[in-house]
Amino acid sequence: MRLHGVEIEETYAEAFKMWGTRLLITAESPRWARIAAEAASGFAISVIGCGCEAGIEEMLPPERTPDGRPGTAVLLFAPSRKDLEAQLVLRVGQGVMTCATTACFCGLEGEEAVSVGGKLRYFGDGYQGSKVLGGRRYWRIPVMDGEFLVEDRFAIQRSVGGGNFLVLAETAASALASVEAAVAAMEPVGGAILPFPGGIVRSGSKVGSRYKFLSASTNSAYCPSLRSLVATELPETVNAVYEIVIDGLDEEAVRKAMKVGIEAAARPGVVRISAGNYGGSLGQYRFHLQEIVAGEGKEGEGP
């Protein structure tokens, strides 16, 4: 298959199970809402070394937030319920509660939930208070500019991590232009984030390493400098590769983000668009590139 002259390889992205949630962070101004969101989602690039993956989903106008103030929606993903709860308590406590004028609410509905405000309330040293509105409990924690309002429990849901595609290009400049265009097209997709810096990955990894203490190492088959030393996946005309990784609250969000991203990435200087898969050793979900581009992919291909 070719798209705008670019080869779309007949392969699939191998993604894996995650637990995810959505935070709604509000503040007195869009600036402070974004500052809190950036703090809460900082150093959340990969579960390999960060404990979770997170990013800003979108900025929210006052009419779309629980308290009628400017806000941000942040998505956060972790491998297990326990990990997700721990990361939420840490990141809301350190990244949101510390930030001027903020409040924090759950942005999902569902029966599965973890305690966030219910644990952060102890910071109030006995002076905290709670109120139930519409069947949901909120905690009011005294802080130096007034009160930090945070929801007691946050709904979580089974999600998908590690959707991806690779851009193989003739030059570093053409590779970067391609993935920048892809990121711009993918960022508006709801229910999905691109957790890596600027939405792109330069240090793509493979499962395993020659060093026993590492669970992942450089994706040598896609490193141009190793072309003569390893079994390479790179055509002779390819001199730079970037990867885009997508996490989503469901498979459809990942699929939609991949589709618009691949369509935007197929531009001059790109030789091939491929994806990372490891024969089923990494994850349970398969997103076939050609089916996604053709709009033929089935929702619910995973387990």
Tens digits of per-residue pLDDT, 207-216? 889 999 988 8
Are the C-beta atoms of 238 and 271 separated by less than 8 Å?
A: yes
- Residue 297's pLDDT is 58
Question: 200-236 b/e with 16+ CB inside 10 Å = b?
Answer: bbeebbeeeeeeeeeebeebbbbbeeebeeeebbbee
- Domain map (residue ranges) of the chain: 2-15+160-294, 18-157
CATH topology for the 2-15+160-294 domain? Alpha-Beta Plaits (3.30.70)
pLDDT tens-digit readout, 62-110: 999 999 999 999 999 999 999 999 999 999 999 999 999 999 999 999 9
pLDDT of residue 298: 55
Class of domain 18-157: alpha beta
Q: Which helix (H) or strand (E) holds 251?
A: helix 251-265
pTM: 0.93
Length of the chain: 303
* Positions of the chain with pLDDT lower than 70, given as ranges: 281, 297-303
CATH topology identical between 2-15+160-294 and 18-157? yes
Q: What's the token pair of residue 70?
A: 């400017």
Nearest Cα neighbor of 168 from 289, 273, 288 is 273
Residue 216 pLDDT: 87
pLDDT at 120: 98
